[in-house]
Amino acid sequence: MGKINILSNIDKNYFNYYKVTITSILENSSHKKEICFYLVEKDLSNEQKKNLKEYVKKYGAKIIILPKPPFNFEDLQRETHMSEVTYYKTYYLGKIKEKKIIYTDPDVIFLADIKELFNFSLKNRTMGGIKDYAIGLRNGKDYINAGILLIDLNKWRKEAYSNKCLKELRENPQEFFYAEQDLINKVLKGDITQLPLIWNRQKIMYDQTPARLNISKDQYRNLLEHPKAIHYTGRIKPWHSKYIFPDKKYYLKYNKIAGIEKPYKTNYSLKENAWKFSRWFLYKTKTREFFELKILGPIYKIFSRKQK
C-alpha cells in the first residue's frame, strides 16, 4: 500500500503529549514503515525536533517538520483553552503534496490500526469527520469535531479551501468561537462525509446518557468499552491529576511506552480530593449539566450583577 500521511500542529508545550499520540499510532499500526507524520510546529527547540525524528525512525516511520504558517492567527476568536496553533492545518492542507491525509489533535490516543481510518471512502467528498458529541450528536446536526479528520488533499486544493478558510478568518473572525472547528464546518458545509463515532470517542460521553446523545444503549456501551480513538476534549486532560475518568489508563500506558515521566504528581490535598470526588459524583449520576445550569448558573448571574 502507499503512504499513510498524518498531520498535527503543536507548540513546545504539547511536545510530550504529541509524542504520546504518535506512540499510540505506531504501536497499533500494521504498516509502520508506510507512516509519514507531518508536524506543523510553532516554537520547538532543535533538540525536540531531533528527538522526534530519531524516535519515529526507530519504528521505521518518517516525520516531516514544518514551520509556523506566514499568517497571523494570534488575535483570532477562539475558546479560551485553545491555542492559535489549532488554525495551522487550514493553511498547510493546501500546501502538502499528497493525495490524502489524516489530521489528529495531539490530545488523542489511537487504540486501533490507523490504516483502517485512512482507507475509509469519502464518497466523493473532500473531508471525512466524526460528529462532535456535544454540538452535532446531541443536537442532531451535521457538525463535526475537528480533532480527527480524513482529507482528500486533491479535492481540498481543487476547491481552494485554504484560501476560503483564510478569507473567512480575515472577514468574520468573530464567528469562530470554537476556532477552526467552526470554520471548517462553515466553509466545507455539504462537502463532509460522516465517519463512525468510534473513531473519535469524546470525553463528554462520561456526562451523558445514551438518550441525551441520541444513540442506542449498545452503541453507547461499545463507544465506552471499545473505542478506536479517544479524544480527550476539554480543559482538563489525562495528564492532569484532576482527570478522573477511567480512560486515563490508556494515556498513561502510551506515556510510559514513549519513555516519558508520569505527567503529574499525585496531589493529596483536601481541596483537590474534594474537587475530584464532586466531579466523580457528577459523572456517575450524570447530573453535571443540571448542576451547572440550575445551581452555578444563577450564582454566576448574581455575582455578575453585583460587579456591574
Question: Which domains, from first to last, does the chain contain?
Answer: 4-257 (3.90.550.10), 270-307 (no CATH)
Q: In which band, very low, low, confident or very high, does the pLDDT at 267 lie, cut at 50, 70 and 90? A: confident
Q: Over the stretch 189-200, which tens digit does the pLDDT of each residue have?
A: 999 999 999 999
Predicted pLDDT of residue 65: 97
How many helices, marked H, and strands, marked E, lie in the chain? 13, 10
Predicted pLDDT of residue 308: 44
C-alpha dist (Å) from residue 153 to 102, 125, 208, 273, 306: 10, 11, 35, 47, 52
Mean pLDDT of 250-258: 98
pTM score: 0.91
Predicted pLDDT of residue 74: 60
Q: Over the stretch 130-182, which tens digit does the pLDDT of each residue have?
A: 999 999 998 888 999 999 999 999 999 999 999 999 888 888 878 888 888 99
Residue 301 pLDDT exceeds 60: no
Predicted pLDDT of residue 85: 79
Predicted pLDDT of residue 81: 45
Residue 49, SS3? helix
The amino acid that residue 221 corresponds to is R
Q: Which three cell numbers stand for residue 81?
A: 483553552
Mean pLDDT of 41-60: 97
The amino acid that residue 262 corresponds to is K
Q: 63-67, 74-78, 258-262 — which is least confidently predicted?
A: 74-78
Going by the DSSP 8-state scheme, the letter that residue 68 receives in this structure is P
| Mean per-residue pLDDT of the chain | 90
Mean pLDDT of 19-36: 98
Predicted pLDDT of residue 171: 87
Are the C-beta atoms of 180 and 135 separated by less than 8 Å?
no
Q: 83-87, 147-151, 154-158, 285-289 — which is least confidently predicted?
A: 83-87
Q: In which band, very low, low, confident or very high, does the pLDDT at 76 lie, cut at 50, 70 and 90? A: low
Predicted pLDDT of residue 306: 46
The amino acid that residue 276 corresponds to is K
The CB density around residue 75, as the number of other CB atoms within 10 Å, is 8
Mean pLDDT of 117-132: 97
Separation of alpha carbons 225 and 228, rounded Å: 10
